[in-house]
Amino acid sequence: MNQPLRIGLIMQGGRGWIGGVEYIKNIILALSSLPDEERSTFEICLLYYGESFEQDIQNQLKPYLKGTYNLETELDSFTFFNRLKWKVKRVVFKQSDPRTSNFLKKNKFHFVYPFLVPDAEKAPYQGCPWIYDFQHKYFPHLFTQSDIDERDRGFAKIANSSSRVVLSSKTAAADFKKFFLNSECKTEVLQFRTSLPLSWYELNSVNLQSKYHLPDKFFIISNQFWQHKNHLIVLEALKILKASSIYPVIVFTGHPYDYRKRDYIDTILQTIHTCGLVNQVYLLGLIPRIDQIQLMRRSLAVIQPSLFEGWSTVVEDARCLGKKMILSDFPVHLEQDPPGSAFFDKHSPQQLADLIGEWWEKLKPGSNYEEETLAQARNREEVKTFGYRFLEIARIKAF
């Protein structure tokens, strides 16, 4: 009998980057959606650091995992002897991360993701790094110089040391080839899909609307309050519509903190008040994901105005629900191209205002159950395709 492929997935993100958590979670759920015969050929373990793996996420994923490992407690301690030993391994044997390497060998992993194993390193396991996006190349003013340097160093190390790298879109893969012209590193495109529990489709979304004291009609934007998410263009669009006596309501969800510009949320609040939009804008902050999805179901449509994305989780969530979307014309959004979407110039508040005004009058709140049922059926197949694609990447040179 062949040995099952032992996959170690390293948890990404946290409260400061919910998209990273959802990315790994969606890989686990996609793999778990595959037929029993296929699932018997692999096992999934989750590796995490400290509090990056919150209890509610643990409870959701536990049925699908062979094991979980907290690397803060699993890795060898920083004793003087260990530090000396690791230095020898780094210098003499070119081993990049001795502590983690020892752990991976001990637990007999075959494939670790996302994780860079340099080609020069002879290890009994394989890994593949992931580059989420090249936002810092297009919007350097949104980053500190140390952030830019750190990303450049990390991405260059991947380009120079790895035989392949995973990117979430064809757009990002093209960027990799543009920025690393001489790299022999092969790009693997893995376009992720969102998985939602079936029970979430059966909940009464009107109850969630009442919980947050929202009006019956509203659009929803679910993004963390980072500058590249382009919230201000939405407020500009509302200001334009207000001049024509059109008063749409927008609900914003997401963590209200941008570590790169701590006063960004203050700019949002000031704009709301100076433009007289207090009665049209609801800022709910970071709410439970189940609540966020129910509010999406209840909304007229989802708006995603971002200037930049690696592959938008918000778009994939809305796709699962069969919701209409108003999207900025950023290339990754065009690549995702969900059904029922309309695009606007990401720098044109007038184009956005025209779409919001039109849909405010035309659309009805709540789920379109026919569209939602069709979306569920499409999603089941798309999630399986995503799972098979991940396995294809994991099995390359895995044994």
Tell me the pLDDT tens digit for each residue of 80-138: 333 433 343 343 334 456 678 788 888 999 999 999 988 777 788 899 999 999 999 99
Quickly state the pLDDT bin for 397 (edges 50, 70, 90): low
Query: What mean pLDDT comes out for the span 279-299?
Result: 96
Helix, strand or coil for residue 165? strand
Quickly state the pLDDT bin for 44 (edges 50, 70, 90): very high
* pLDDT at residue number 82: 39
For the chain, the structural domain boundaries read 5-194+380-395, 198-367
| Measured distance CA(315)–CA(317) in Å, rounded | 5
Q: Reply yes or no on whether the pLDDT at 78 is more than 70.
A: no
Domain 198-367 fold: Rossmann fold (3.40.50)
Alpha carbon 211 to its chain centroid, in Å, reads 27
- Tokens standing for residue 314: 């918000």
Alpha carbon 135 to its chain centroid, in Å, reads 14
Chain segment 202-246, per-residue pLDDT in tens: 999 999 999 999 999 999 999 999 999 999 999 999 999 999 999
Q: Which CATH superfamily is domain 5-194+380-395 in?
A: Glycogen Phosphorylase B; (3.40.50.2000)
* pLDDT at residue number 97: 62
* pLDDT at residue number 81: 35
* pLDDT at residue number 91: 36
* pLDDT at residue number 359: 98
- Tokens standing for residue 290: 């189940």
Residues comprising the chain, all counted: 399
Out of 73-82, 302-311, 320-329, which region has the weakest mean confidence (pLDDT)? 73-82
Helix, strand or coil for residue 69? strand
Average of per-residue pLDDT values in the chain: 90
Percent of residues in the chain assigned helix, strand, coil, to nearest 5: 50, 15, 35
Rounded to the nearest 5 degrees, what angle is found at the Cα of 251, between the Cα atoms of 247 and 255?
145
Q: Using an 8 Å Cβ cutoff, are 192 and 23 in contact? A: yes
Out of 9-18, 80-89, 194-203, 389-398, which region has the weakest mean confidence (pLDDT)? 80-89
The full 3-state SS of 180-240, as one line of letters, equals: CCCCCCEEEECCCCCCCCHHHHHCCHHHHHHHCCCCCCCEEEECCCCHHHCHHHHHHHHHH
Share of the chain above pLDDT 70, in %: 92
Unique residue bearing structure tokens 């380009």: 159
- Whether the ω angle into residue 331 lies within 30 degrees of 0, i.e. cis, is no
CATH topology of 5-194+380-395 equal to that of 198-367? Answer: yes
